[in-house]
Amino acid sequence: MVGIISAMQEEIQALLHELQEVSTTEKGMRTYYTGTLFGKKVVLVFSRWGKVASAATTTQLINDFNVQEIIFTGVAGAIHPQLNIGDIVIGKNLYQHDLNAFPFYEKFEIPILRKKFLETCDSEKLLTAANLFLDTYHQFIALEDSQLFEIQHPKVVHGDIASGDQFISSLKKIKKLNKAIPSAICVEMEGAAVAQVCFEYKVPFSIIRIISDEANENATINFPKFANSIASIYALGILKNYFS
């Protein structure tokens, strides 16, 4: 069984619509939707925002649903100039940009684990699935929705992601992140926490992030609308290819 997590209900709504043979379980103020998606047994859940919420959800998912793999999907803010709204980031290494236990550990280093970042599992299949989705992009995404968010030529990028319990919305913070973690290309609030739990439980982890904004003062889009009509549909298209 594959566990699929998002931070917001809107980010997996399209997947929920496609889920077959659905059963639900209520645990820890979360609803876990178990069923079949494109012929694959899955469990879907939205974790809520932030590292604590996503770590708690991931732990429950692993302990109660016997998942062999976890995929996180959702939106992120770009902190690299070559990323645009609508681009897909398949995560490579995940950093907690707000973790600093100095002088006991180096900045970003996870206590006890002594790792500054956590790697995702082999991403080739997910990268292929994302590129196949872009080949059939307009079969999934309505033209008026792509025009609304000025999505023109979306691309897939394999890169590092920075996670932290704060919404990044200023150029000053972006420059600080660029200097601290030069390899990070986007920023969000959950991925590295999920990656840590998966690492400790030895569960393969992958992450799909859809760029919704440029994490600056102009980051004022309608997030629920973007998550529902863009990010959710991206996840549907990518995972349809991934599970085939």
User: Which one from 11, 87, 188, 214 is the annotated catalytic residue?
Assistant: 11
User: Which one from 87, 109, 160, 213 is the annotated catalytic residue?
Assistant: 213
- Write out the two tokens for 221: 């889009």
109 as an active site residue: the answer is no
Hey, how many other C-beta atoms are within 10 angstroms of the C-beta on 116? 16
Task: Give the Cα separation of 11 and 190 in Å (integer).
Answer: 14
Residue showing tokens 């956590």:
118
Task: Give the Cα separation of 91 and 157 in Å (integer).
Answer: 8
Sort strands 20-27 and 69-78 into parallel, antiparallel or unpaired. Answer: unpaired
Distances (CA, A) of 2 to 8, 78, 124, 147, 209: 18, 28, 17, 33, 18
Task: Give the Cα separation of 154 and 227 in Å (integer).
Answer: 16
Beta strands in 7-127 (DSSP E): 20-27, 30-37, 40-46, 69-78, 88-96, 118-119
Hey, how many other C-beta atoms are within 10 angstroms of the C-beta on 48? 18
Task: Give the Cα separation of 35 and 108 in Å (integer).
Answer: 37
Of 66, 61, 2, residue with least CA distance to 28: 61
| Strand-pair partners of 159 | 91
165 as an active site residue: the answer is no
**Known catalytic residues?**
11, 213
